C-alpha cells in the first residue's frame, strides 16, 4: 500500500483519532440490529488499545442532516462496542466542544472514547474546514477505518487529514483495499464479475470499467431485461429502463468486440408481481408472458452461471439476481452465494461488494465462507468503477 497504515504510526501514549463506520441499523427499541460494521472495526481498535494508545472514535449514523436527532444517536453503538471489547467505553453526547475536550484530556493509555454522531453538524457533510480542524485537534494522529464512507469527501474523512500530521489506513480499510484492489489490478484468471440488482443505470460505470478487466460478466436481476429488450426480445411486464436500451446495445457490442463472455439469464421465474404469495412459473427467456414479469433467474441460468463460476479464480459480485427480499424470488441469489462458497473452498478469491448481495450472503449463512464481503456498498461500487476514493487519496503517502 502506498499510504501510511496503522502499523506505520506510533500509537503508544498518543491520542489517536479514528474514523470508524458505525453507521449500523438500529431496532425499534433502539438497539444495534446488525453489528457487522462494529465487529469489522475491532482489529484496529484492539491494536490501538493493546499498544497503549488512546482511541477517540468518530462516526456518523444515518442522515440527521445537521440536526440532533436522538433516534440517530451512536449511544447504542457504544454499548455494543463495550460488550464486544469486554471493557468500558466512554461515550460523549457531542463530537465537539468542552465536554469532548475534557473527556479526551482524561483518557488514559489503553482507553477508548466514542463521540456522538458527526452528522448532527451539517459541517461534516459540507466538509467545512473549521469543523475539520476542530476534529483534527482532538488527535495526534488520524486513522481512517471507515471504508463505507471513503467515497465521500467529508470533514471526518477528507478535511481532517489536512490538519493532522499523519493520516493512516486502519486494518479494515487495508483489507477492503487489498481485496478490491487486487481484483482490479492483478486478478487470478479466469476473472468473473456477477452483476445484478434493479437497474443498468446504477451499474453502467462498473460494467464499463470491468469490461476491460474480466473474462466473463454474468448478468442477473432486473437489469437483464433492458438487455433483452435491446436484443429485440419480449419481456412482458419485467423491469425496463427504456432510456437505456441504446446503452444496453452498446454494452453488448463492446463485450463482443472485447471477447468478454457476456452471459444473460436463460430462464426466469415470472409472476404477476413481487409478493410472498405470488403464483410463480419458470419460463425460458423467449417465452415471458406479456402480463407477467421476471423476478428471479431460473434453474437453467443457475446451472449455466455455476458452470462458469466453477472455472473462475477471482469473482466480484454486486447486486442480487432477483427480488431476493421475498423467499419466492431469492433462490437464484442464494444459489449464486452457495456456488461462491464452493469455489472459495477450492481456492478461488470471492469478493462481495456490500449492500444487498452482502445481506443475501448473510441470510444464506455463508458470510464466513467467502474471501471478502465489503462493508461499503457505495464505496465498493465506486472503487469498481475505477474512481479514486477521496477518503483514501487523502491519507498520508508512505
Yes or no: say if 376 and 149 are a contact pair by the CB < 8 Å rule: yes
Draw the binding track, 120-159, toward ligand AMP (x: CB under 6 A; -: no contact).
----------------------------------------
Residue nearer to ligand AMP on the CB measure, 76 or 354: 354
CB of 356 to ligand AMP, least distance (A): 5
Q: By Cβ distance, which residue is nearest to ligand AMP? A: 197
Residue nearer to ligand AMP on the CB measure, 1 or 204: 204
Instruction: Tell which one of 128, 325, 338, 385 touches ligand AMP (CB under 6 A).
Output: 325
CB of 208 to ligand AMP, least distance (A): 16
Part in contact with ligand AMP (CB under 6 A); list of ranges 143-151, 275-283, 314-322, 363-371:
314-322
| Whole-number Å distance between alpha carbons of 360 and 5 | 31
Report the catalytic residues: 37, 199, 355, 378
CB of 124 to ligand AMP, least distance (A): 25
H/E run at residue 315 = strand 314-318
Instruction: Tell which one of 53, 265, 319, 354 touches ligand AMP (CB under 6 A).
Output: 319
Q: What is the CA radius of gyration of the chain?
A: 23
Select from 172, 162, 153, 108 the least CA-distant residue to 135.
Answer: 162
**Helix pair 204-211, 245-257: axis angle to 10 deg:** 10
| Whole-number Å distance between alpha carbons of 300 and 295 | 15
Interactions with ligand AMP, residue window 176-235 (CB under 6 A)? 197-199, 202, 221-222
| Whole-number Å distance between alpha carbons of 306 and 283 | 19
79-102 burial, b if ≥16 CB within 10 A, otherwise e? Answer: bbbbebeeeebbbbbebbeeebee
| Whole-number Å distance between alpha carbons of 219 and 108 | 53
Residue nearer to ligand AMP on the CB measure, 79 or 199: 199
Residue nearer to ligand AMP on the CB measure, 55 or 285: 285
Instruction: Tell which one of 53, 148, 294, 391 touches ligand AMP (CB under 6 A).
Output: 294
| Whole-number Å distance between alpha carbons of 140 and 310 | 49
Distance linking the first and last C-alpha atoms of the chain: 8
| Whole-number Å distance between alpha carbons of 251 and 255 | 6
| Whole-number Å distance between alpha carbons of 216 and 211 | 8
Task: Give yes or no for residue 295 binding ligand AMP (CB under 6 A).
Answer: yes
Yes or no: say if 135 and 95 are a contact pair by the CB < 8 Å rule: yes
CB of 270 to ligand AMP, least distance (A): 10
Residue nearer to ligand AMP on the CB measure, 107 or 362: 362
Instruction: Tell which one of 76, 320, 354, 390 touches ligand AMP (CB under 6 A).
Output: 320
CB of 54 to ligand AMP, least distance (A): 39
Q: Alpha carbon of 282 to those of 59, 233, 321: distances in Å?
A: 46, 17, 15
Pairing of strands 267-271, 261-263: unpaired
Locate the DSSP E strands across 324-376.
Answer: 349-352, 372-373
CB of 35 to ligand AMP, least distance (A): 23
> Total number of residues binding ligand AMP (CB under 6 A)?
15
The set of residues, in sequence order, having a beta carbon less than 8 Å from that of 105 and lying 6+ positions away, is none
Residue nearer to ligand AMP on the CB measure, 83 or 201: 201
Interactions with ligand AMP, residue window 346-385 (CB under 6 A)? 356
Part in contact with ligand AMP (CB under 6 A); list of ranges 13-21, 166-174, 240-248, 316-324:
316-324
Part in contact with ligand AMP (CB under 6 A); list of ranges 33-41, 97-105, 319-327, 342-350:
319-327
CB of 381 to ligand AMP, least distance (A): 9
Give the footprint of ligand AMP on this chain (CB under 6 A). 197-199, 202, 221-222, 239, 294-295, 319-320, 322-323, 325, 356
Amino acid at each position: 500500500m502506498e499510504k501510511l497504515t496503522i502499523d506505520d504510526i506510533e500509537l503508544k501514549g498518543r491520542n489517536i483519532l479514528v474514523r470508524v463506520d458505525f453507521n449500523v441499523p438500529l431496532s425499534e427499541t433502539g438497539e444495534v440490529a446488525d453489528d457487522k460494521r462494529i465487529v469489522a472495526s475491532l482489529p484496529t481498535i484492539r491494536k490501538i488499545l493493546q499498544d497503549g494508545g488512546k482511541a477517540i472514535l468518530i462516526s456518523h449514523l444515518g442522515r440527521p442532516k445537521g440536526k440532533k436527532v436522538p433516534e440517530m444517536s451512536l449511544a447504542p453503538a457504544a454499548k455494543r462496542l463495550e460488550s464486544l471489547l469486554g471493557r468500558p467505553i466512554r461515550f460523549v453526547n457531542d463530537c465537539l466542544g468542552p465536554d469532548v475536550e475534557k473527556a479526551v484530556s482524561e483518557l488514559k493509555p489503553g482507553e477508548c472514547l466514542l463521540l456522538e454522531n458527526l452528522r448532527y453538524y451539517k459541517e461534516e457533510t459540507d466538509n467545512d474546514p473549521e469543523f475539520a480542524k476542530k476534529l483534527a485537534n482532538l488527535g495526534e494522529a488520524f486513522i481512517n477505518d471507515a471504508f463505507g464512507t471513503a467515497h465521500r469527501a467529508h470533514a471526518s474523512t477528507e478535511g481532517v487529514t489536512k490538519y493532522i500530521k499523519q493520516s493512516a489506513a486502519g486494518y479494515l480499510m487495508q483489507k477492503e483495499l487489498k481485496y478490491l484492489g487486487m481484483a482490479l489490478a492483478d486478478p487470478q484468471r479466469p476473472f468473473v464479475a456477477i452483476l445484478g440488482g434493479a437497474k443498468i443505470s446504477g451499474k453502467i460505470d462498473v460494467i464499463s470499467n470491468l469490461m476491460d478487466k474480466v473474462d466473463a460478466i454474468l448478468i442477473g436481476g432486473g437489469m437483464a431485461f433492458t438487455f433483452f429488450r435491446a436484443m429485440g426480445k419480449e419481456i412482458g411486464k419485467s423491469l425496463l429502463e427504456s432510456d437505456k436500451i441504446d446503452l444496453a446495445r452498446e454494452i453488448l457490442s463492446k463485450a463482443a468486440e472485447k471477447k468478454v463472455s457476456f452471459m444473460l439469464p436463460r430462464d426466469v421465474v415470472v409472476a404477476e408481481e413481487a409478493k410472498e404469495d405470488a403464483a410463480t412459473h419458470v419460463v425460458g427467456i423467449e417465452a415471458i408472458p406479456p402480463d407477467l414479469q421476471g423476478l428471479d433467474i431460473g434453474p437453467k441460468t443457475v446451472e449455466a452461471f455455476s458452470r462458469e463460476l466453477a472455472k473462475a479464480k477471482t469473482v466480484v459480485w454486486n447486486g442480487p439476481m432477483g427480488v431476493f427480499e421475498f423467499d419466492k424470488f431469492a433462490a437464484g441469489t442464494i444459489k449464486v452465494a452457495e456456488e461462491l462458497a464452493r469455489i472459495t473452498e477450492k481456492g478461488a478469491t470471492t469478493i462481495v461488494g456490500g449492500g444487498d448481495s452482502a445481506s443475501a450472503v448473510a441470510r444464506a449463512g455463508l458470510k464466513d465462507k467467502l474471501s471478502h464481503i465489503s462493508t461499503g456498498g457505495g464505496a465498493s461500487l465506486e472503487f469498481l468503477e475505477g474512481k479514486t476514493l477521496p477518503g483514501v487519496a487523502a491519507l498520508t503517502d508512505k
